[in-house]
């Protein structure tokens, strides 16, 4: 079970990835943006884990953030749950009738106003776009000898 994100809609990220093709440090620029995306999504993962139902902790501990490769102007990234908890991760996520006396909620990752994606992603993406702009400026000015 997981949720994916695309960075196509972030203007500074789009510009930075386009600039990466034009400068000698382009691969490092892409690597730096990917690292920033990973850091930002780890925050969203942490919020999702705080909202994850807990019995033994296996489901909460199964959360992982994956930041993939550049495809066009997109860096694929996702937060997933599963591993040893794969048999019930989706059931716990979707079952709104379940009660969680220790902690947690249905739709802890996505699909509800209070989920991690919906509550954290807009501000996280704004922050990522600002960080991408700074990373690109640093690489571009370095490539220009400034």
Tens digits of residue pLDDT in 31-74: 888 899 899 999 999 999 999 999 889 999 999 998 876 666 66
pLDDT at 54: 93
Q: How many structural domains comprise the chain?
A: 1
CA dihedral sign of residues 115, 120, 122, 125: negative
- Which range, of 51-65, 95-109, 131-145, averages the lowest pLDDT? 131-145
Give me the half-sphere count of Cα atoms (radius 13 Å) on the Cβ side of residue 99.
Answer: 1
Boundaries of domain holding 113? 2-143
For residue 8, pLDDT beyond 60:
no
- What is the average pLDDT across 107-112? 94
What three-state secondary structure class fits 66?
Answer: strand
pLDDT at 85: 80
pLDDT at 46: 97
Distance CA 9, CA 30 (A): 16
pLDDT at 62: 94
pLDDT at 100: 92
**What percent of the chain has pLDDT above 70?**
80
């Amino acid at each position: 079970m997981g949720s994916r994100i695309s960075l196509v809609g972030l203007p500074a990220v789009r510009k930075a990835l386009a600039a990466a093709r034009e400068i000698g440090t382009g691969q490092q620029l892409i690597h730096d943006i990917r690292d920033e995306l990973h850091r930002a999504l780890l925050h969203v993962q942490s919020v999702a884990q705080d909202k994850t139902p807990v019995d033994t902790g296996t489901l909460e501990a199964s959360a992982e953030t994956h930041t993939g490769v550049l495809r066009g102007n997109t860096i694929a990234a996702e937060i997933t749950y599963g591993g040893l908890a794969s048999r019930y991760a989706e059931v716990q996520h979707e079952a709104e009738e379940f009660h969680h006396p220790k902690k947690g909620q249905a739709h802890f990752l996505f699909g509800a106003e209070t989920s991690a994606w919906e509550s954290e992603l807009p501000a996280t993406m704004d922050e990522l776009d600002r960080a991408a702009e700074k990373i690109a400026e640093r690489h571009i000015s370095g490539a220009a000898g400034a």
